[in-house]
Amino acid sequence: MEKLNNILNYTFSITNDISISVKGILLVIAVIILTSFLLNIFRRILTRRLPNEDKAKFKILFGYGKWIVYLIILLITFHGIGINVTAVFAASAALLIGVGLALQTLFQDIIAGVLILIDQTIHVGDIIEIDGKVGRVDEVKLRTTRAVTIDNKVLVIPHHLYLTNTLYNWTQNGATTRESVTVGVAYGSDVQLVKSLLLKAADSHDIILKHPAPYVFFTNFGDSALEFKLVFTLNDSFQGAIPKSDLRFEIDKLFREHNISIPFPQRDIHIIQKPE
Residues 127 and 158 in one domain: yes
Domain boundary among 46, 72, 102: 102
Q: Are residues 126 and 95 in the same domain?
A: no
- Shared domain check, 141 and 91: no
Question: What is the pLDDT, as a whole number, of residue 169?
Answer: 85
DSSP letters spanning 108-175: HHHHHHHHHHHHT---TT-EEEETTEEEEEEEE-SSEEEEE-TTS-EEEEETTHHHHS-EEETTTT-S
Residues 132 and 85 in one domain: no
Are 153 and 199 in the same domain?
Answer: no
Task: Give the residue-averaged pLDDT of 50-62.
Answer: 63
Does 91 lie in the same domain as 8? yes
Residue 48 lies in a domain: yes
| Together in a domain, 49 and 132 | no
Whether residue 77 sits in one domain with residue 17: yes
Where a domain ends, among 49, 75, 102? 102
Question: Are 163 and 196 contained in the same domain?
Answer: no
pLDDT tens track for 81-92? 666 666 555 556
Q: How many folded domains does the chain comprise?
A: 3
Return the CATH number at 217: 3.30.70.100
Question: What range defines the domain where residue 219 resides?
Answer: 177-257
pLDDT at residue 15 is higher than 60: no
The answer on pLDDT for 18 being more than 70 is no
At 215-259, the pLDDT tens digits run 999 999 988 899 999 999 988 777 778 889 999 999 999 999 999
**CATH label of the domain that carries residue 157:** 2.30.30.60
